[in-house]
Amino acid sequence: MLGVVGSAAGGLEDLRSGLVAPAIERGWRVAVTLTPTAGAWLRRIGEVERLEKLTGLLVRDQPRFPGEPRPHPQVDCFAVAPASANTVAKLADGLADNQALTQVSEALGTLDLPVVVFPRVNAAHTRHPARRRHMEALREADVRLIYGLDIWPLYEPRDAPSDRALP
């Protein structure tokens, strides 16, 4: 069981075709959890319903109440994609203020539960003074970080429309 966690960053609208469907094709069962903003974003464009149909599971973006059954089976691995700068910072600092971050934060404290994070941030975010500390904290937690120009390019905000990548 692959737990896919999406936050409101560029590429979120491609979550189904770019990660969930390929994972299912490779034999994974997939459970999707979104940050509240990502949930609103994907509901607005009809993607939540498409993800639910594809996975056969509810897409979560809200916590369950005490006594309610778990809507997803136990997860064997988490993939956080895309991970906004906000999500990366909160995971690094141990902040779990929504269902998606709670799941991944618990995973970081669980032995032998792999977590892969695909940061999707712009160049300005990569230059923020706290960024290095956040990335180091996630590495220290044995998070596998996937990023770079060949994965999800980093762009200067003013250059994004022309798709001119940073060197």
Number of domains in the chain: 1
CA–CA separation, 64 vs 68, rounded Å?
6
Domain assignment of residue 167, yes or no:
no
Domain assignment of residue 68, yes or no:
no
Domain assignment of residue 147, yes or no:
yes
What does the pLDDT read at residue 151? 58
Residues of the chain with pLDDT under 70: 148-167
Domain containing 108 equals: 2-63+73-162
What does the pLDDT read at residue 77? 97
For the CA atoms of 96, 69, 64, 5, the dihedral, rounded to the nearest 10 degrees, stands at: 50
Domain assignment of residue 133, yes or no:
yes
pLDDT digits (tens, 9 = 90+) for 5-51: 999 998 899 999 999 999 999 999 999 999 999 999 999 999 999 99
DSSP one-letter string for 103-138: HHHHHHTSTT--EEEEE---HHHHTSTTHHHHHHHH
CA–CA separation, 102 vs 97, rounded Å?
7
What does the pLDDT read at residue 122? 80
CATH (domain of 133): 3.40.50.1950
Contacts of 111 (CB under 8 A, 6+ apart): none
Tokens in use for 110? 């669980």
What does the pLDDT read at residue 123? 78
Domain assignment of residue 130, yes or no:
yes
What does the pLDDT read at residue 28? 97
What does the pLDDT read at residue 150? 55
Tokens in use for 48? 């939540």
Instruction: Provide the residue type at 17 as one letter.
Output: S
Domain assignment of residue 152, yes or no:
yes
